[in-house]
Structure 1
Amino acid sequence: MHTAPCPAYEAEIARNRPVLGIDEVGRGPLAGPVVAAAAFFPSGFPEGLNDSKKLTEKRRETLLPEVLATAVIGVGGVSARLIDEIGIGPATLLAMHRAAEAALAQAALPKDTLALIDGNRPPKDFPLPVQTEVKADGSCPSVAGASIVAKVLRDRAMARLAVRHDAYGWHTNKGYGSKAHQEAILTAGVTAHHRRSFLTKLLG
């Protein structure tokens, strides 16, 4: 354990108030949920935290138990069906809200905890004060930890769905619009886990 380096704004925040890092994965896929995670590290960070997209799958899987052992974690997801109903933007913010609520339910975080969210769109009616920062998942360890949790859990969920829907290659493409996935949609059809609002152009 060590105090990981982080940019001046998070270092300054952390000196004065606790930080709950929040990030999401799965905005762009044609299938599956959008998943957000929130991570509060009370006493330092595991080494090697980074934006989950910059880590190999093996490294993410190695880091996950370290993150779970050292942080208060909350996870929130929004299904493909609800994404179709409300849109991916609101669904992403809802997943973040659910993740924060789940973290607060896990432990009594300090009352002055600040939610530090990757991105530039602060959610409304959030349970904590919010600060947003673009690309925080690659520079802020609390957000990076949340990024790893969200990525690993969503990837595992897609791998489980792939067992029941083996035509689409979700164990490898994670629901993203690879050529093979799109061709499978045209031949095998649309499942309950596909985001129909994302398929308008493909299906005509």
Structure 2
Amino acid sequence: MLVGVDEAGRGPLAGPVVAAAVAICLSDDALVEEFMKLGVRDSKFILPKKREQLYGILTAHTAVSWGVASVDEKAIDRINILQASLLAMKYAVDAMMKKQSVPQQPYLYIDGRDIIPDMSVDQKAVIGGDAIVFSIAAASIIAKVTRDRMMGVYAKEYPQYQFEQHKGYGTKLHYAAMREHGPCPIHRKSFLKSVIDKGAKGR
């Protein structure tokens, strides 16, 4: 069975990186066509309300096996964002395998240039995979919605940063909040260093 794996949140200045693994029963052409008509594609090109709708459809459908996992900002600072992303992907695949009835030896299609280390399964890295591999597109939706929801929770804990607006990405609103309040516990210190260095060079 083909399993698509993707992540959300590699670029933000705050919060976790989240990954999802999705296997869809592709033997039913009508089912694939149904999902495509509903608009399942790379999450970056789907509006938030539509993403939420598709998340609900995908995660509730009996033909879809899925798992999701996150790696927090402390681990990102410790091992770097690439390794944290790959670790989140590994955890997501493990979660899918544990809770769903799927073959013990799935074939993983990983969005990006890198495969997941320390996994005894066949894998293929697919650059731009979320635009060309259906199960990766589905994984991108689940990962993105999960992370956005997490940032919504953090927004209530740290309202001064308005995480519900920018989800931790480096927007003008976010930079303004950091200038006024400084970093909070979920900011990625390794990312902020580069921001501070760039700011110093621009003075």
The TM-score by the shorter chain falls in which range?
0.7 to 0.9
C-alpha distance in 1, partners of 2:49/2:112? 26
Residues 97 and 104, structure 2, Cα contact 8 Å, conserved in 1: no
Closer/same/farther in 2, CA of residues 96 and 117 from structure 1, 3 Å limit = same
- Which of these residues, 135, 139, 142, is aligned with residue 142 of structure 1? 135
**Given the alignment of the two structures, is residue 182 of structure 1 paired with residue 165 of structure 2, yes or no?**
no
Query: In structure 1, what residue type is equivalent to 2:17?
Result: V
Give aligned pairs, total: 187
TM-score using structure 1 length: 0.87
Shift of 1:201: 3.4
| Match of residue 61 from structure 1 | 52
| Match of residue 40 from structure 1 | 23
C-alpha distance in 1, partners of 2:12/2:120? 28
C-alpha distance in 1, partners of 2:137/2:194? 34
Which segment is superposed worse, 95-104 or 178-187?
Answer: 178-187
- Which of these residues, 132, 157, 168, is aligned with residue 164 of structure 1? 157
| CA displacement, residues 21-58 of structure 1 (integer Å, 9 cap, x when unaligned) | 10001000000000000001125442321000011111
List aligned pairs for 1:57-136, cutoff 5 A. Answer: 57-70=48-61, 71-136=64-129
C-alpha distance in 1, partners of 2:196/2:110? 35
* SS at structure 1 position matched to 2:15: coil
Q: For structure 2, list consecutive stretches of 5 or more residues without a partner in the other structure.
A: 198-203
More helix by share: 2
Q: CA RMSD in A?
A: 1.3
| Match of residue 200 from structure 2 | none
Query: In structure 1, what residue type is equivalent to 2:96?
Result: A
Percent of paired sites with the same residue: 39
Query: In structure 2, what residue type is equivalent to 1:67?
Result: L
C-alpha distance in 1, partners of 2:169/2:74? 16
| Match of residue 12 from structure 1 | none
Residues 22 and 38, structure 1, Cα contact 8 Å, conserved in 2: yes
| CA displacement, residues 160-199 of structure 1 (integer Å, 9 cap, x when unaligned) | 1101111112101000011121121122121110001101
| Match of residue 27 from structure 1 | 10
Q: For structure 1, list consecutive stretches of 5 or more residues without a partner in the other structure.
A: 1-17
C-alpha distance in 2, partners of 1:203/1:174? 20
C-alpha distance in 1, partners of 2:119/2:166? 32
TM-score using structure 2 length: 0.88
Shift of 1:127: 4.5
C-alpha distance in 2, partners of 1:167/1:108? 43
